[in-house]
Amino acid sequence: MTMKIDAGKTSLDGRVAIVTGAGMGMGEATARLMAARGARVVLADVNAQAVEAVAASIRDAGGDAVATVANVADEVAVAAMVAFTVGHYGRLDCAVNNAAISPDNAMIADADMDVFDRVISVNLRGVMLCMKYQIAQLLKQGGTGSIVNIGSVSSVRPQPYNAAYTAAKHGVIGLTKVGSLEYAGRGIRVNAVLPGSIRTPMLERALGDADLREEDFAPSLSLFGRFGEPGEVAEASAWLCSDAASFVTGHSLAVDAGYLTR
Ligand SMILES: NC(=O)c1ccc[n+]([C@@H]2O[C@H](COP(=O)([O-])OP(=O)(O)OC[C@H]3O[C@@H](n4cnc5c(N)ncnc54)[C@H](O)[C@@H]3O)[C@@H](O)[C@H]2O)c1
C-alpha cells in the first residue's frame, strides 16, 4: 500500500495569528512567513513605524496583515491587542509571543535593578500577559489553538552577564509547560522555540556592544559555524502553529545549529 503524504498540513490558510515584536528580526520574519502560508496576521510592536512598514510590505506582497502598537509588558495594551485582533479578523487561532529585550550586561553584584525589572517585565511578564489574554480568547471561541513562546538557548543554558535575561527565558519554559498542562484538554497547544544565535538587530547590537565580529564568535555558538537567519526560526514557529504539529505540546524546540548538544 502506498502512503499518501498530506503536504497541506503546514498551511495556515485563513488562520488568525498574532506575532509580537513583529517590527524587525525574528518577529518580522515570522509574520512574513505565516502570511505567506495563508494566515491573517496581526503584527504587534512598541515600534509603530517599524511594525506598520512591515505590515504594509506584507500587504503589498499579497498577504493579509495589519499592524497594532502594543507594549507586551502593559496589561491594558495586551488586552487591547487581542481585542483589536478579534475586532479586525473576528477570531484568534494562534500566536507567536516573540517580543523581548536584552539590555543587561553586568554581573549580579553590579546589577542595575531597574534594568532587571524591565527585562523581567517584557520578557517574562509579557509572555504571561500574552498567554493570559490569548488563551482567554481561544476558550471563548470554544477552545483549540496554538501558542508559541519564543525562549532562547538561554532558557536552558545560563549566560554570564545576563542574569535577568537568563532568568526570564528560563521562566518562559515554565510558563509554556504550565500552559500546556492546563489547556491540553481544551485543544490548546503551547510550545516554546529556543533560538540560538540568529542574525537580527538584537544580535547585531550585542556584538557591537561587546566589540565582537561574527567570524570570531559564530563557530563557538553553532555547529555550522555561522549565525542563523530569522527565517530559519520562523519555520519552527509556523510549523508549531500549524496542524502538522497536532501531537506536539509542552515542547521546547531548539533552533540553534546544535549549540545545546555541546
Ligand atoms: N537574535 C538572537 O540571536 C536571539 C537568540 C535567542 C533568542 N532570541 C529571542 O528571539 C526573540 C526575537 O529576538 P530578535 O533578535 O528578533 O530581537 P530584535 O531586537 O531584533 O527585535 C525585537 C522586536 O521586539 C520589539 N519589542 C521590544 N520590546 C517590546 C515590547 N515591550 N512590546 C512589544 N514589542 C517589543 C522591538 O521593537 C523589535 O521590533 C526574542 O524573544 C529574543 O529574546 C533572540
Type of residue found at 161 = Y
Catalytic residue among 89, 133, 165, 183: 165
Type of residue found at 243 = D
Q: 108-139: per-residue pLDDT in tens?
A: 999 999 999 999 999 999 999 999 999 999 99
Which pLDDT score is estimated for 212?
A: 84
Q: Is 259 a catalytic residue?
A: no
Which pLDDT score is estimated for 209?
A: 83
Q: 1-22: per-residue pLDDT in tens?
A: 555 655 589 999 999 999 999 9
Q: Which three cell numbers stand for residue 56?
A: 504594509
The DSSP-derived string for 167-214 is HHHHHHHHHHHHHHHHHGGGTEEEEEEEE-SB-SHHHHHHHHHHT--H
3-state SS, 212-224, equals CCHHHHHHHHCCC
The mean pLDDT of 13-36, rounded to a whole number, is 98
Tell me which H or E stretch contains 77.
helix 75-89
Which pLDDT score is estimated for 3?
A: 59
Q: Which three cell numbers stand for residue 63?
A: 498577504
Nearest atom in ligand 1 to the alpha carbon of residue 74 is 31
Tell me how far the alpha carbon of residue 139 lies from the centroid of ligand 1, in angstroms.
Answer: 28
Indicate whether residue 72 lines ligand 1 (CB < 6 A): yes
Q: Which domains does the chain have, with CATH numbers?
A: 12-255 (3.40.50.720)
Contact 82, 18 (CB under 8 A): yes
Which pLDDT score is estimated for 2?
A: 56
Q: 157-184: per-residue pLDDT in tens?
A: 998 999 999 999 999 999 999 999 999 9
Nearest atom in ligand 1 to the alpha carbon of residue 150 is 41
DSSP state of 22: T
Which pTM was predicted? Answer: 0.97
Q: 177-235: per-residue pLDDT in tens?
A: 999 999 999 999 999 999 999 999 999 998 888 888 888 889 899 999 999 999 999 99
- Distances from the Cα of 34 to the Cα of 29, 88, 115, angstroms: 9, 17, 33
Which of 20, 202, 207, 214 is the best mutation target for the ligand 1 pocket, counting ligand atoms within 8 Å of the beta carbon and taking the most? 202
Q: How far apart are CA 19 and CA 216, in angstroms?
A: 32
